[in-house]
Each structure stands twice: as structure tokens, then as C-alpha cells.
Chain A
Amino acid sequence: MRLKKPKEKEPPKLVMEPMVDCVFLLLIFFMVANILKPTLPFSVELPDSKSREEYVRKKFNVYINANGQMSVDDQAMRDYDALEDYLLPRVNEIETLMIHADKNTKHGDVIDAMERAKHVMIDNIAFVLSDEEIE
């Protein structure tokens, strides 16, 4: 009997292509869904509240610190005119203007910022609260 000569063994191959496809899809998903936390030029300690609504995190958040310094995301704003000029071309992208005001911020500063937002036809405004829910 003539035995068949065993075939030369090829090294086992790992099929990478489907995994690479999945990985790329995941990468694209995270890149699109990602909103990076802005690095603020100052610190803001948000007030607490038991009653709260939930909002989707989006771009163009206004930050006001205890001394009245302002920024939109990581862009520091010199004054209220600068804030208004910055918001004006981006009005269509802002559904609700989220104001992150420090708990020690003077109410007058918050009102001024809201007034400027209203001036550029942003009607939906919300104050952002601290993440930790108080008991």
C-alpha cells in the first residue's frame, strides 16, 4: 500500500481582518461619541440640589467661577461682549445653554451671562448641578 505523503504543515494563521474591522468600527464610534472634558482655566465648584433634570453632555458650556471669570468650554472669555460674540455664530448648535456657575458666584454675574444668551436668542438655559446627589 502506498501511503500518502503527509502534506507539509503550514504554520497556523490567525485571521485578523474581521477583528480589525470591528476594532475600527469601535474606534470610529468612540471618536464620534466623544466629548472631551475641557481643561478649564479656573476651578468651578457646582452647587447641590435634590431636584434635578438630566441633560445630554454637549459642547459649548458656559463656566463662571466665584470671581466672575468666564469661559465657554476651555476658551476663556474676556468679558460679556466676548461671550456674546462667541455664542452668536454657534447659536444653532446650542439646544440648551448649560451654565456651570460656582456656588459662590455672584448672582449678578450669572444674570448677566443669561442676559447675553437671551440677547443672541438662546431661550433654553439650565444651571448645572453637582454630580453628587445630596441626601
Chain B
Amino acid sequence: MYEESQAKAAIIARKSRREPTVNMTPMIDCVFLLIIFFMLATTFSPLPGMRVKLPPPSQAQSQTKPEHFILNINNPEAGEAEGFMQLNDREVNMVDLSANFMAGTEKQKETLIIRSGRRVKHEQIVTVMDKAKRAGVKKIGFAMVASAF
């Protein structure tokens, strides 16, 4: 009896001598799919932006030194897209804003402070910032009213 079982075991051992293998193919399929997904979903392009500076809270009200550019933008009138602008107390429009910035002194070109109404559109602010940057203004800040939130 014992011998018989020994012989059977020997036969089984001989049959299964082939090395065990792991079937990788389905896993590789999945991994490739994941790679393709991540490759498509990843965005490496940089984000275009424009830096802004905020005045320290204590200076929020005192940033009115005349040696800087100070641009006041009023809330747009009903039906109008853009608000009325004043650069250092002189009325300006969007067309000749660049020329006005360029005509400023070196000291003035250091900083531009934008004092804008709450209802002015963000696009107008960005356009002003764009013109100022291209005219050589180094820092652009916003005047804020210290609110008690």
C-alpha cells in the first residue's frame, strides 16, 4: 500500500516538474491603461498669471504718497462696461493709459496703486495691470479698506 502511494507521488512529481509561472499579461494591460490615463490627465504646462502685491494692513489707508502712480477707478455707470479712471487726479481713458504710465518718472514707475470701486469688472483691472507692466511699472498693489470681518 505504502509503495503504491510512493509510486503515485513520484509520477505526480515528474509531471509537475515544469517551473511555475506567473501570468503577467492582464496586469500589464491594466498598468498600461493606467499609464495612458495619467499621461493624458497630467498637465505640465505652466499657469499664466500676474503677481499682485497687497499693502500691509497698517498702510492700507496711507498708500497715497503722490510719488507713486495712484489710479482711481470708479464703479461703472449703468449700461457701461468700464468705470471712469483717474491717474494721479488726472482723468485718463484706457487708450492713453499706457502713454501716461510711460510718461511717469522713474520713482512713479516703482509702484502703481489701484483704488477701485467694488463693482468694477476684474477684466478692467487686469487690462490696467497689463498696460502698467508693459510700461515698466514694477509693483502693482491694491488699496484696501480695512474691514472688520
| Assembled-state Cα–Cα distance A28/B112 (Å) | 46
A103-B144 in contact (CB<8A):
no
A115-B130 in contact (CB<8A):
no
Which of A70-78, A85-93, A125-133 has 4 or more CB atoms under 8 Å from chain B? A125-133
Q: Is the interface of B mostly helix, strand, loop or mixed?
A: mixed
Q: Is the interface of A mostly helix, strand, loop or mixed?
A: mixed
B47-A56 in contact (CB<8A):
yes
B121-A26 in contact (CB<8A):
no
B35-A54 in contact (CB<8A):
no
B34-69 contact mask (Cβ, 8 Å, vs A): 1 or 0: 110011011111111111101001000000000000
B5-33 contact mask (Cβ, 8 Å, vs A): 1 or 0: 00000000000000000001001100110
B123 at the interface (CB under 8 A from A): yes
Chain A residue with the shortest CB-CB distance to B39 = A30
B38-A30 in contact (CB<8A):
yes
A103-B126 in contact (CB<8A):
yes
A36-B122 in contact (CB<8A):
no
How many A residues touch B, CB cutoff 8 Å? 55
| Assembled-state Cα–Cα distance A108/B121 (Å) | 9
A115-B144 in contact (CB<8A):
yes
B24-A20 in contact (CB<8A):
yes
| Assembled-state Cα–Cα distance A22/B125 (Å) | 49
| Assembled-state Cα–Cα distance A5/B54 (Å) | 87
B48-A128 in contact (CB<8A):
yes
| Assembled-state Cα–Cα distance A17/B56 (Å) | 59
B139 at the interface (CB under 8 A from A): no
Please give, as numbers and ranges, the residues of chain B lying within 8 Å of A33 by CB-CB distance: 42, 44
Chain A residue with the shortest CB-CB distance to B147 = A115
Q: A54-B46, A80-B149, A114-B52 are in contact. List 9 more A-B contacts (CB 8 A).
A: A27-B35, A34-B41, A49-B129, A55-B47, A55-B48, A126-B52, A127-B52, A129-B48, A133-B48
- A positions within 8 Å CB-CB of B: 16, 19-20, 23-24, 26-27, 30-31, 33-37, 47-57, 80-81, 96, 98, 101-111, 114-116, 118-119, 123-131, 133
List 21 A–B pairs whose Cβ atoms lie within 8 Å, in order of A's numbering. Answer: A23-B35, A27-B31, A27-B34, A30-B38, A34-B38, A36-B41, A51-B129, A51-B130, A53-B51, A57-B45, A96-B51, A103-B126, A104-B122, A104-B123, A106-B120, A107-B119, A110-B122, A127-B122, A127-B129, A129-B126, A131-B45
